[in-house]
Structure 1
């Protein structure tokens, strides 16, 4: 029987139809992830893969994106937290009639026949009193471009489109208008209702989710995350924040290949109403390599091994072919798909308005074709650390390292787009030079330590040439600082990596002068801008917020410079900018709001590194 659908709460609410980016928690199953708002709404979910077309995307368009609403059906205060030491998210509703909670999680499965199910479970529990709830499930397949039909059979609803079929098992009777389903129900103290969303088809049969099965899935998911986290070696002052960052990095891992995505979202704006909206659901060599470093510091060697396997099995590392068309852009791309694919065409989705009207919404990323020389240093540094803290690298990996280093020796002095992926043309970026030095220097260390074959004379000559070039061309006498690129006086926070990468002593007078200059020009109450876009045009319109990874780099640079008290204050201030769950987006704007894709791996790995080194300095 067809019933008239009640209006969505987002449509009824006056004013802003969007929750802030930071008003979300993340759940996932090591294949995909979902954002759950503090109002109980899942407003971002790509079923099966991080880079799959969205099922729910109301965070990008409140009307056309689709969502899974589940909340108390009376005015209520809400609080959100993670079940201790897990990625199981709890959203609590406090009302006059009682108190209830929604427990959101995605079971982590092995490579069994159930691998394709991709189950998302939402358990509703009435903790006290008698509380009314509402639920509304409004999938919108392929970013809201593919229509679907909905059929309800008892407590099961089937959402069927030309590209994907989902089933919803409900603990209560549902109504439908042929597109969405909804229900209103009451739970007394101690009662539970379960909603389980499954992908079906391709050998995955329709299956219900009774209360006992949901309870078992909950307990198994809790055990999985707690067992994983128990391997951490971190026992320092900021254990809760460090472990939340580690759990977040693990959530951003695509288990079938070992890939690590930069963020689970696309097009969350760096500035509301601006055009800096990018798709981060891919594997940046830089981000993933830094993640390996952070996880190795905590003792998680399996993730490092999986990423190394991803590189060797799925990423083409062949030498460049000289076709006479110009300089070679290298044996590595800056990013890959989670399955290792190299083609990531960027296009816009004009039918979606963007988060709070921030258009365009983009999928794919055309920066894939950029030359960013720094990735060689970050990758080889992670291989060096894996060899040091994980397991000795194989002969095949060493052959790969030699090929990469030989290419860097021949090509380090090319201009490139740099770490920030500017779209304003190539320059001789200092950070890129530093990381080319790192690539060669770490390879020399490995060769010396393991007695591995290497072209020592050639490598050492190139390493020393790069060092002298940086010290000569990258230093500005006028600014008394190392600068963004050769021959310019623009400051750039990426040079904070110079002492962290062991290029320069953290107490070298030139470095201390640079640190003071950065603190004066780019730091605002511990928050660090990556550069001034007014003095360093990047090819895009509008301003941006402070860059959170740079803020944690600043903490670590202060620490290594012997300014532990300043570093601790800056670190503690940065912690206050995390959201209620300890999660960070890419940037923080002038009002303290988080901006950009969320949560971002880059920020969390930098937090881990800063905390680790600051703990060590404080003793």
Structure 2
């Protein structure tokens, strides 16, 4: 494996709202899972090297230079290659048509003549299966001046892939084709996945598919207000959230990747291709704030299906269709990004108790109710059942929002979200005429508030603490005003911000917490967490520190890569992205920060 991997920020996203591909600025698809975000990979060079699967498509001139952009408000990626002999573009996308799980890479000649090479290494099931590949009859017999075309069929176990395009020749366990384009010439390559037991699919019309993809994405984005200083960033972030929302199930995955490290060479490498109730609830609120009420209905339907059953069995996360069994496993065959092992699939946090999750769900469902989404008997019955579970576990310590792998604690943020769950239950009865045990909820709500006031505030410093019994702070405390527990200018919040600035800033960006102190439970460290830094922007804006908010917002937006994507963390020393990408939490926090700077009071201003 190369000792210098492709930087995480060098990747662009392709999506059909069922799965996603990552394309490097060197023209290589290094990550692709089909037919779902959480399926076994077809290309996994991202977590190893080229031998673990990739599809490279770029000019044969090694000195060719590339610039990239998305085609308007879409996920059709346009890479413009310039070399000494000419200019050409690669237009690539994933068709949005139901039942078509494919990646299309179209080479378009612009001027002069440009030679291209396509090299394909298929490795199914996280590079654990080298498929059997055979050449089928050519699509067309080449005449003079015409490009020979062909079809490859690759099969291993349940997976089959066809590749239609320039005829490829085998070399060991890879396939390669070379050709050139002149101005106006178009050459298409199409990789399509199907279950191996099905017949080989017929080719589809690429012209129709690319136009349909452009129209679909542009139509979805049309209602987004892109006015204001950060309007384009907000629009792209909302598009990223849509790209991570499964078209059929409505499940919202936390990121498109697994095991991209929070620290190079470290072990904090997690699989984020699942639906965290917390992240999905926050995404839902971003959708609602920008007018996408149908997303609220679809996610509520997903929630009803996922958590159906005994409320005591509610998990913090689920599979894309609501699957509950997500065991964490390590893949020894993949060395990891930049040698950062282990590579994991599944996520052991599924078995944790995180007391804040039901509060996040209740806050989001209240936002949907206030936004005009009508309750049904079933949906409110679910919320009552969730509140019953809050009551049953009212005093239970938890692992917290950051999924600490140390001993459970009474995390202040978690306790505030318990308060928020009870508060939303009380208000649903008092303000919306719904039924429930409001007396119990009100009594417990006030008891939790009194507990936080007594045990969640440092007596000497006057700031909120990470958990009872410590004077450490945690960036999640920046969310307390957002759910209405206190005002942003509460003296305790101002003291908390001052303590965060003293202890959690690294080159002006915010760490989640100090890993060397408290309940982290893991070796090594991490880098500033982008979502937390956006939360600080929101806090600054709410307390009149407009210049500080604006400066930090500008810096954070500048961290986004050339096509507007953000990962989980940022290494300020190396100037590089860290963690899984693109990260839903980073993008929805960007949206919240921009809304705050535009004067929108936030998700719970009416609750202060």
Tell me which residue corresponds to 1:58. Answer: 45
Give the conservation status (yes or no) of the 8 Å contact 2:51–2:121: no
Task: Look up the SS of the partner of 1:378 in the other structure.
Answer: helix
Q: Which whole-Å CA distance do the structure 1 matches of 2:128 and 2:77 have between them? A: 30
- Deviation, 1:73, is 0.7
Deviates more, 1:294-303 or 1:311-320: 311-320
Q: Which whole-Å CA distance do the structure 1 matches of 2:429 and 2:175 have between them? A: 62
- Deviation, 1:163, is 2.1
Give the conservation status (yes or no) of the 8 Å contact 1:149–1:178: no
1:169 aligns with one of 161, 164, 167: 164
Does residue 149 (structure 1) correspond to residue 132 (structure 2)? The answer is yes
1:450 aligns with one of 405, 416, 432: 432
- Deviation, 1:505, is 1.1
Aligned pairs for 1:32-51 within 5 A: 32-51=19-38
Does residue 605 (structure 1) correspond to residue 595 (structure 2)? The answer is no
- Deviation, 1:236, is 3.3
1:231 aligns with one of 208, 223, 227: 223
Tell me which residue corresponds to 1:3. Answer: none
Deviates more, 1:355-364 or 1:92-101: 92-101
What RMSD in Å do the two structures reach over aligned CA positions?
1.5
- Deviation, 1:17, is 5.1
TM-score between both structures, scaled by the size of structure 2: 0.94
Give the conservation status (yes or no) of the 8 Å contact 1:232–1:300: no
Tell me which residue corresponds to 2:144. Answer: none
Tell me which residue corresponds to 1:68. Answer: 55
- Deviation, 1:466, is 0.6
TM-score between both structures, scaled by the size of structure 1: 0.92
**CA distances 1:196-255 after superposition (whole Å, capped 9, x unpaired):** 01113455642235xxx2122111100000000112245333111001001100010111
Does residue 316 (structure 1) correspond to residue 304 (structure 2)? The answer is no
Tell me which residue corresponds to 2:183. Answer: 189
Task: Look up the SS of the partner of 2:469 in the other structure.
Answer: coil
Does residue 132 (structure 1) correspond to residue 115 (structure 2)? The answer is yes
**CA distances 1:244-299 after superposition (whole Å, capped 9, x unpaired):** 00110001011121000000100000011100000001000011000001111111
Q: Which whole-Å CA distance do the structure 2 matches of 1:519 and 1:304 have between them? A: 35
Q: For the structure 1 residues 62 and 416, does the alpha-carbon distance in structure 2 shift closer, same or farther, using more than 3 Å as the test? A: same
Task: Look up the SS of the partner of 1:417 in the other structure.
Answer: coil
Give the conservation status (yes or no) of the 8 Å contact 2:541–2:549: yes
Give the conservation status (yes or no) of the 8 Å contact 1:423–1:538: yes
Aligned pairs for 1:460-499 within 5 A: 460-499=442-481
1:77 aligns with one of 58, 65, 69: 65
Task: Look up the SS of the partner of 2:401 in the other structure.
Answer: coil
**CA distances 1:471-506 after superposition (whole Å, capped 9, x unpaired):** 110000223311100011111111000111110111
1:91 aligns with one of 79, 94, 97: 79
2:509 aligns with one of 515, 521, 527: 527
Give the conservation status (yes or no) of the 8 Å contact 1:150–1:176: no
Tell me which residue corresponds to 1:105. Answer: 93
Does residue 179 (structure 1) correspond to residue 170 (structure 2)? The answer is no
Tell me which residue corresponds to 2:147. Answer: none
- Deviation, 1:576, is 1.2
Aligned pairs for 1:334-483 within 5 A: 334-483=316-465
Q: Which whole-Å CA distance do the structure 2 matches of 1:302 and 1:24 have between them? A: 30
Tell me which residue corresponds to 2:604. Answer: none
Give the conservation status (yes or no) of the 8 Å contact 2:113–2:182: yes
Give the conservation status (yes or no) of the 8 Å contact 2:326–2:348: yes
Task: Look up the SS of the partner of 2:43 in the other structure.
Answer: coil
Q: For the structure 1 residues 38 and 516, does the alpha-carbon distance in structure 2 shift closer, same or farther, using more than 3 Å as the test? A: same
Equivalent residue pairs, number: 586
- Deviation, 1:178, is 6.5
Q: For the structure 1 residues 384 and 617, does the alpha-carbon distance in structure 2 shift closer, same or farther, using more than 3 Å as the test? A: closer
Does residue 265 (structure 1) correspond to residue 257 (structure 2)? The answer is yes
